Structure 1
Amino acid sequence: MDESRKQIERAHALVEARARRVQDFPEPGVEFLDLTPVLADAEAFGAVIDALGLGWADIDLVAGLDARGFLLGAAVARELGLGVLAIRKAGKLPPPVHSRTYSLEYGEATLEIPAEGVDLRGRRILIVDDVLATGGTVGASIELLEECGAEIVGVSVVLEVPGLGGRDKLSSTTVRSLSES
């Protein structure tokens, strides 16, 4: 087994051992995976960050999605020697902003990035988040960044929830998941 595969399997095992599953949150029928215990454990956090950043080449910037993706994306960016762009929920950034509204499995949301101060034209970006479910948030992030002239190198997530079609919605983008829920 190659070293990369071992790192991914180690991260997966630590996530499974430390993550907390919460039924019916944020609403009935939704299972929320709480990664707080993973992030609070130095060994698990380090293993996850190392695994999320494995194998990506020619990246200029890491984008972390609001909110747990901020923590993961910032750590991956630091590990790779890159900057990080926080993709925020609506109303958290001062204007002007670029925005994209999208549907969630339990509602609607809007993502924003600064329209000034960070030039994304021609930048090669890795998107990092905690969970890929329906693909709505990641898909909206891709569209938002591409509208600003960025090129998406790929998406790296801790968990992927099979059966919700998220990966299918992102078929033109390379998606790597440390494990499936």
Structure 2
Amino acid sequence: MNDAIKNVVKVSKWMKNGYLERDYEYLTKVGFIKSEYENPRLNLVISTIDKNKMYGGLSTAVKLYRYLAEYLEMDMRIIMTAESIKSEIMEQYPDFVCMESGQDSDAHKTVCTVDVCNHSRGNISVRKKDIFMATYWSTFYIIADVLKFQKEKYGIDNKLLYLIQDYEPGFYQWSTEFLLTDSGL
């Protein structure tokens, strides 16, 4: 078989009813549980904080987040959405404590993950004074319902920060992702 035929065969395995099969599991929403702790906390929702995988946008988001949290004297929680917590990552952030996603804690600096490796996001604890900072359209989408949760559980209207560093639909060709990204702006 020549290379062109091999490529057609490979692509045809991805086809279902004439369309490319897509996996949108990364858009699974996060669940929320009420926290018993009161300290104000700034939450960074980001795909990864692994410095070996960071590029300008992720690096800028982490720097801005740390600056804001320290300036505002808030507890810090980093919520990774696309990667499990590994010891190599925690070694890069020695002042942070690793937490399970559904675990509640009064620690001042924590990292947890809500990646979909187990086909579910799980829950995160939410404080009354939690503020969330999304870094990309998909991180905004999966966490946006937190405002409704805070309104129902604590009776407050809170805000969600969305750090937009670029025209995000431009990262995708004319595709489903382009439309999903564009609809969130």
TM-score band (shorter)? 0.3 to 0.5
Please identify the structure whose Cα radius of gyration is greater.
2
Structure with the bigger percentage of strand = 1
Q: Which one has more relative contact order, counting CA pairs under 8 Å at least 6 apart?
A: 2
